Structure 1
């Protein structure tokens, strides 16, 4: 969910601490019948320890305190949600039920909140919570549906409190929510990605980067794979397919060829699988790597201690569920982690002593899968709301490109920045038509030019670009050809802004990143 959804304000009510909850005489059905729990004609105090919704009923865990002081816990079901911390006075009409004779929310205990104290939680405060229950309220003909939910708050001074909210759509039970306080009886949801998922993504990314290895190391080993009796026909076919699917520079110079190479880079494999596509029908770098691993595994010695197969398969299976799930915990609110550096550094794995050719090849293939997943996680890490309220989407990937006899890994990062629709509609008479801002970064090392990095930005038809070369000869060569590049870009219909070449590498860090100056230029 990337947009905002306003929760309907609750109707005015008296404070929960001063009003009895009108469920006197409500029966709680005991899940395990208990004969003589409470003596006839007597009552006991109870407290709700936990609440869980099951279809249209609610499961409660109660702590019952008898007159003698003895305490016991019982499980019961109810037709009404009783929030955690609610104090009750109960009696027992039969072995399988309890009756609520008095239910009064006590101020010292945690009661259901139906309004927020904005002096305690000012407008703009971020609340985080877990959905306990969701019920469809009785509908008035001609009026939209209203769902009432109980949400357990997990942060701020109200941590542990239960908040009752009304919303125009049901909230998934057990889901974790973040919302901004808009008033005493109004909230607006914000995406979890900017807080909770970012922490989990960063942890996963650190683990992936420690296992990753450059694609060039694997491809060099595949090109030099010796023909032997241990190389099966299926393994050779998997190697040939992986190498044959690598694009060349001519293919990447056409829009159609570039789009195909991006789609087959491995970045979208999980998306294809979730959509029900057969990965064997279209080339895919990550899919080819996983097929290669599957063919390498049977050829390993039976007594090998090498576990790259297990690691690679675990990674391949874990990523799709990770993308779909909200991982991590909603603890203290922390700042958004800094994006990982681009490009990924080269990392070549050396052959270990006593390691066979297939074991080394398998280790290289597992490291290559981790490298592709590092790019995928970096894309997720840099996707979300920016500090100035823009929606930023990032695609980071790596394409091994054929250049004559060499294989050149081309690292690419696309970023799209959108203004939320809400801002577009605030003052339509004063706003221009919606514009998207695009940023593109490229990094590659091609002989004889050496390492090159390119950053470009396109906004409102205006292109700005900065190039960095680590070799003085290459920087001088590019500088002398910038006027010709500018002329070609102008001929393509673009309005060209900054177009410069620098010796060295791009500056890193928030205070020195050049694209911040580009944003100011085109604002």
Structure 2
């Protein structure tokens, strides 16, 4: 790799003369206005001779008729244009390469293989802009279930006012089965958590959220498993079967419908809760329904990939969780209106204790579980729960948007304390605050060094 070296050579000092305002005392142009030579550029990067460094390919420029490829590298946060004869090595933007300084040139030592985190990041970035919130998507599916869907216009057909047609039976059954399994808000009453069977229902609610669809299929290879992601897949299959032709290719060509709020802050979790109730709309066409389902599928997949990103960073960041799970949990109101509860579960370990040389100390390493739940109830409004469990010690904090809800939660705190104590837990902190907590947003980045040993 050669750096462009067509710049003007550095001029020798000129005789002392009256210096114009735009020149230095030596009569030369100011250094910041002079183009830098290849050596100066490498020296500025503090890259010594025979030293190696990692760089990211920012852009590959293939000029017509050019023998070499022009590559723009990102080296230590600074752009560095080079002319490269890379041979059989295929470079594309985003690749990481190892280079070495040889005099005033750079030698390409090799391209780094894609790390699992980089692969996940790339897949996540592709789906982030095309997410459909599950509550609004389910509301439109309820409308399609009750009122049918409009036929798609064929090429050359003039728009008219066609009457809605019933959904295909397979898609209809998939929607009915899904809605029948969604929990209702009547079960979310104070003290219900201590009732027999409630813990198992919560476990089932989480298990069927779609986050674990692939792992459940591996254990039980049945496409009829009660699972949100698999149910969406069955709806898509039922709708495509009525259209005939190459259904898979037709679905892949669809542009998923996205929820604006998710596009503005795609990696904020939990997302700000909707200020207005989610309602259905007028019947849409089969094509529009498929685009809604594609966006919902992207939302679940983004949560899956986002969880993997957070877990993959545990080895390189002491503040990162060992494992993380981000879930959207749909539920329905007494009026059969879909809503979503957002759950964030993270597992942390005490790294100082777990890194001890003593085997007993490693076994005794303290783990901490943190749970964040965001939900918007009909009358109570937006509520956020923060729970931390460290061995037998538990602390909880509740955030309420409404003043009346804040008062009611404070009245229920003694019941919550007794319920936790009955489980054998030591309650260290329990309080309710007005407003809502703030959560950090995930930033996609490339980690060059794997610090896990």
What range describes the TM-score normalised by the shorter chain of this pair? 0.5 to 0.7
Select which of 287, 303, 310 maps to 1:375: 303
Give 1:412 shift. Answer: 0.9
Name the structure 2 match of 1:233. Answer: 169
Which one has a larger percent helix, Structure 1 or Structure 2? 2
1:210 to 1:308, Cα distance in 2 relative to 1, 3 A:
farther
How many residue pairs match? The answer is 307
Give secondary structure in 2 for the equivalent of 1:342. coil
Select which of 166, 183, 199 maps to 1:247: 183
Equivalent pair of 1:440/1:456 in contact (CA under 8 Å): yes
CA distance in 1, matches of 2:126, 2:272: 15
Give secondary structure in 2 for the equivalent of 1:378. helix
Give 1:244 shift. Answer: 2.1
User: RMSD of aligned C-alpha atoms?
Assistant: 4.1
Select which of 269, 274, 279 maps to 1:342: 269
Alignment deviations for residues 272-316 of structure 1 (CA, whole Å, 9 cap, x no partner):
34x2632424201001001101222345699xxx97654589xxx
Alignment deviations for residues 6-49 of structure 1 (CA, whole Å, 9 cap, x no partner):
xxxxxxxxxxxxxxxxxxxxxxxxxxxxxxxxxxxxxxxxxxxx
Matched, 1:436 2:373: no
Give the structure-1-normalised TM-score: 0.50
Select which of 402, 405, 418 maps to 2:332: 402
Give secondary structure in 2 for the equivalent of 1:287. helix
Matched, 1:176 2:113: yes
Alignment deviations for residues 313-370 of structure 1 (CA, whole Å, 9 cap, x no partner):
9xxxxxxxxxxxxxxxxxxxxxxxx993211356879979xx9432332222122111
1:206 to 1:403, Cα distance in 2 relative to 1, 3 A:
same
1:300 to 1:430, Cα distance in 2 relative to 1, 3 A:
closer
CA distance in 2, matches of 1:450, 1:459: 30
Unaligned runs of 5+ in 1: 1-118, 129-152, 163-173, 178-191, 314-337, 511-523
Give secondary structure in 1 for the equivalent of 2:383. strand
CA distance in 2, matches of 1:312, 1:373: 16
Matched, 1:459 2:386: no
Give the structure-2-normalised TM-score: 0.57
Unaligned runs of 5+ in 2: 1-49, 57-95, 102-106, 149-163, 257-264, 442-453
CA distance in 2, matches of 1:261, 1:312: 30
Counterpart mapping for 1:222-371 below 5 A: 222-224=141-143, 225=145, 226-227=147-148, 229-248=165-184, 250=187, 253=193, 254-273=198-217, 275=218, 277-299=220-242, 310-311=253-254, 340-345=267-272, 356-371=284-299
Give 1:379 shift. Answer: 0.5
1:490 to 1:423, Cα distance in 2 relative to 1, 3 A:
closer
Which range is displaced more, 250-259 or 450-459? 250-259
Alignment deviations for residues 128-164 of structure 1 (CA, whole Å, 9 cap, x no partner):
9xxxxxxxxxxxxxxxxxxxxxxxx9447587458xx
1:175 to 1:247, Cα distance in 2 relative to 1, 3 A:
farther
CA distance in 1, matches of 2:273, 2:133: 6
CA distance in 1, matches of 2:317, 2:201: 36
Which one has a larger percent strand, Structure 1 or Structure 2? 1
Equivalent pair of 1:444/1:452 in contact (CA under 8 Å): yes
